[in-house]
Structure 1
Amino acid sequence: MDIYNIPGGEVDPFAAWKSIKDASPDMFYTPHYGGYWVANSAELVHRILTDTETFTSRQAVLVPDMPPGTPDFPPLMTDPPEHRAFRHPYNIALSPSKVPELGDLARDAINRCIDTVIAQGECEFMADVALHVPIVVVMKLLGLPFEDRERLIPLVDAVTHGDNPQARGEAAMGVFAYCDEWVTRREQEPGEDLISRFHRITVGDRPVSHMEVTASVTILLLGGLDSVSHTMGFMMKFLAENPEHRRELVADPSKIPVAVDEMLRRFSIVSTARKVLKDVELDGVTLRAGEKIIVEMCMHALDERAWEDPMKVDFGRCPKKVPSFGEGPHKCVGMNLARTELNALLEEWLRRIPEFEIKAAEKVVTMTGQNIGIHALPLSW
């Protein structure tokens, strides 16, 4: 099983994963990219993500591995207790008091995108909207110029969706090089942006290094520009194809937050990986120290043992326990901001364009990979 080339993934990646899930044991192995295990149950997903003494994030979160010599990217590729030090600036920047202001920024970006396309009666949602909104927020957090998005978006996409290890490594180092430029500038001219706060981290009894700051900024760009954009795409695809669900939210916008949580469950796009620190038995199989496991969040969301009728989108469901944002110490620090951005999208779009559909004679093109994504989402109204 090649996560970058799952049969049917270009049409419906979740149905493609569900087919694998239904045909496979709870823990199975594939020899692709040097070999890795796949966790195929909600119970195992929870166990692996929360047991940092057995499963490490160091040099482990991507399949295939990044090229030798690639630095760890904190906090994603660090384990406790060091992980807490690198996470601290995020906690401050994304505190409950800060998220509403960032949500307003996202809402303004959404409305400006709608202003651009509404009179046309159509748009390619990913290029015209989804890829523009999260980047506004991330660039604001980091104090970076918004016009640099054209340089960054294709590099981020190559890292999270490309199956060529060399190309992925080159793209990751391209993002890293961009971040290195700005980290150097902030070392010389610090401010109150998040890059400057990264410089003030102490890890135990030592100051943070230039390399660690650059890697922290890089991982924020990779996560912040990809996951929210593609989640927006899958939510809008579902609402375009399911008018009864869409009209329910148009009639009662107060249901949008619960609907967002349910669609986050149903369309869990993120995966991560871990390496085994010590021999361990899972589902009757012995995993050896040094082996890799990939954890697809959708394998939790599509497990009938955890969710009744998991392929069904039910706005009456309250799926707070689904690990769409991960679990354990690496649970996404930006999850409240992401929810705020997704709520703002549905509130503004459904208010201004309540009736829309997939553009006639056009195809939605999806993809599997490190993260599940959408290449193109043509909408019309």
Structure 2
Amino acid sequence: MATMVDIPAHVPADRVVDFDLFNPPGVEEDYFASWTSLLDGPGLVWTTANGGHWIAARGDVVRALWADAERLSSECLAVTPGLGDVMRFIPLQQDGAEHKAFRMPVMKGLASRFVVALEPKVQSVARELMEGLRPRGECEFVADFAEILPLNIFLSLIDVPREDRPALRKLGVQLTRPDGSMSVDELRQAADDYLWPFIQKRLAEPGDDLFSRILSEPVDGRAWTEDEARRMCRNLLFGGLDTVAAMIGMVALHLARHPDDQRLLRERLELIPDAADELMRRYPTVAVSRNAVTDVEIDGVTIRAGDLVYLPSVLHNLDPACFEVPEEVRFDRGLTPIRHTTMGVGVHRCVGAGLARMEVIMFLREWLGGMPEFTLAPGKAVAMKGGNVGACTSLPLVWNNQG
């Protein structure tokens, strides 16, 4: 149950809402509807859940605050008490010049040439999974595909054993949708215990994996310290364990519900890159938290220094003031990935955005090119969960192999 607190004196009574981001009303049936209910009110609201924090509840406010790296810090990481103090992610929880210095090696490690080089691997893993699923005529898509494809790609990227995926997947979910079974200290320790042997080897004998590429790049002309290496690898591990899996699940849910979109993309494969951008816009589930380092005047209220602000991408991407009829999927909308907020805004835009987009495009190409037309399984429920990364947690699909 979310921890409630008293309402601070600077929070107007008409800005207070009863809203727990980990369990918004109706989230199990529709994650997006549970959030867009906030669009009917003011652009900034306060909830007493989870220790008390602001929520940017209108698209322009979400976008403006996400881009405000001067007055809002990334240090807090999340509204989960103590999580930021424990994780100390590099570069996610850094600001200013320090963030820029550490972000540069990470960006070099994830340069577009490395992402393009991964495409055959994504294709191979996708086809391997599909070969096992196709004869069955049905699958639980989240467990059978969405939670496997991007994780196996990420594990190959950092060169750790694929058989470790189930255990690592559990750690990723505890960060974004915690169930109380692990403390934040236990979560960090579990990740560090797993990573440390690999980090030691990468520091001593760099290879061609992602961690090696990043740790081989100097930070302001010097080598990484062991503590910095731990914090960076910890950041990338958690970053690679949940977000793309959640996105692929949402994309598959849309296609199962909209057979005309399936057919169009099967017939016109050239539309897939634009379709990927539009689907990523339509189904965003990532949010970030910021802590104010100075007072911020916005939407007629004052965010006081020290206040936490929660910034959900869904309330920018699905705000009618930001996108025309935002709940409609239009493959000819003419988007670029920068215009939507699924992968963030400004200096803290997701370092893995290019990799994530490539994986969604490859998923669409391979699944639509190699699987029969699919629908939701009759009589079986779709389930969703809220959190710092919302997700479709159950997606039963069926198809006819005789078609």
For the aligned pair, the TM-score class normalised by the smaller chain equals over 0.9
CA–CA separation in structure 2 for the residues paired with 1:194 and 1:339? 18
What displacement does 1:182 show? Answer: 1.8
2:309 equivalent in structure 1: 293
1:223 equivalent in structure 2: 239
TM norm structure 1: 0.95
Q: Does 2:227 match 1:211? A: yes
Q: Please, which runs of 5 or more residues in structure 2 have no aligned partner?
A: 1-18
Structure 1 stretches (4+) deviating beyond 6 angstroms? none
The alpha-carbon distance between structure 1 residues 118 and 99, as it changes in their structure 2 partners (threshold 3 A), is: same
TM norm structure 2: 0.90
Which one of the candidate residues 173, 179, 185 is aligned to 2:195?
A: 179
1:135 equivalent in structure 2: 151
CA–CA separation in structure 2 for the residues paired with 1:46 and 1:359? 37
What displacement does 1:163 show? Answer: 5.1
Which one of the candidate residues 58, 67, 77 is aligned to 1:50?
A: 67
What displacement does 1:49 show? Answer: 1.8
- Report Cα offsets for 1:42-62 as digits up to 9, x if no partner: 21122112221100001x121
The alpha-carbon distance between structure 1 residues 236 and 90, as it changes in their structure 2 partners (threshold 3 A), is: same
What displacement does 1:3 show? Answer: 0.4
Which one of the candidate residues 23, 27, 31 is aligned to 1:5?
A: 23
- Report Cα offsets for 1:211-247 as digits up to 9, x if no partner: 2211211221212221111100000001001111111
What displacement does 1:299 show? Answer: 0.6
1:356 equivalent in structure 2: 374
Which one of the candidate residues 156, 170, 185 is aligned to 1:154?
A: 170
CA–CA separation in structure 2 for the residues paired with 1:192 and 1:240? 38
- Report Cα offsets for 1:130-153 as digits up to 9, x if no partner: 111112222222121222112201
1:31 equivalent in structure 2: 48
1:81 equivalent in structure 2: 97
- Report Cα offsets for 1:318-344 as digits up to 9, x if no partner: 232111110111111221211111111
Equivalent AA in structure 1 for residue 23 of structure 2: N
Measured on the aligned residues, the alpha-carbon RMSD in Å equals 1.8
- Report Cα offsets for 1:15-38 as digits up to 9, x if no partner: 11111222x210010111211100
Q: More displaced, 12-21 or 87-96?
A: 87-96
Q: More displaced, 331-340 or 296-305?
A: 331-340
Equivalent AA in structure 1 for residue 346 of structure 2: G
Q: More displaced, 315-324 or 286-295?
A: 315-324
Structure 2 SS opposite 1:10: coil
1:278 equivalent in structure 2: 294
Structure 2 SS opposite 1:308: coil
Equivalent AA in structure 2 for residue 336 of structure 1: G
Q: Please, which runs of 5 or more residues in structure 1 have no aligned partner?
A: none
Identity of aligned residues (%): 34
- Report Cα offsets for 1:176-231 as digits up to 9, x if no partner: 32122321232333323222234345444654221221121122121222111110
What displacement does 1:166 show? Answer: 5.3
Asked whether the equivalents of residues 364 and 374 of structure 1 are also in contact (C-alpha less than 8 Å), the reply is: yes
Structure 1 SS opposite 2:291: strand
Which one of the candidate residues 324, 335, 360 is aligned to 1:319?
A: 335
2:57 equivalent in structure 1: 40
Q: More displaced, 105-114 or 156-165?
A: 156-165
2:78 equivalent in structure 1: 62
1:104 equivalent in structure 2: 120
Give aligned pairs, total.
379
CA–CA separation in structure 2 for the residues paired with 1:66 and 1:103? 38
Asked whether the equivalents of residues 109 and 213 of structure 2 are also in contact (C-alpha less than 8 Å), the reply is: no
Q: Structure 2 matches for 1:359-378, cutoff 5 A?
A: 359-378=377-396
Asked whether the equivalents of residues 85 and 201 of structure 1 are also in contact (C-alpha less than 8 Å), the reply is: no
What displacement does 1:167 show? Answer: 3.5
CA–CA separation in structure 1 for the residues paired with 2:221 and 2:269? 50
Q: More displaced, 197-206 or 344-353?
A: 197-206
CA–CA separation in structure 2 for the residues paired with 1:69 and 1:83? 17
Q: Does 2:272 match 1:256? A: yes
Q: More displaced, 10-19 or 189-198?
A: 189-198
Q: Does 2:100 match 1:118? A: no
CA–CA separation in structure 2 for the residues paired with 1:48 and 1:200? 34
Asked whether the equivalents of residues 89 and 194 of structure 1 are also in contact (C-alpha less than 8 Å), the reply is: no
CA–CA separation in structure 1 for the residues paired with 2:192 and 2:286? 21
Equivalent AA in structure 2 for residue 92 of structure 1: K
Q: Structure 2 matches for 1:335-346, cutoff 5 A?
A: 335-346=353-364
Equivalent AA in structure 2 for residue 77 of structure 1: Q
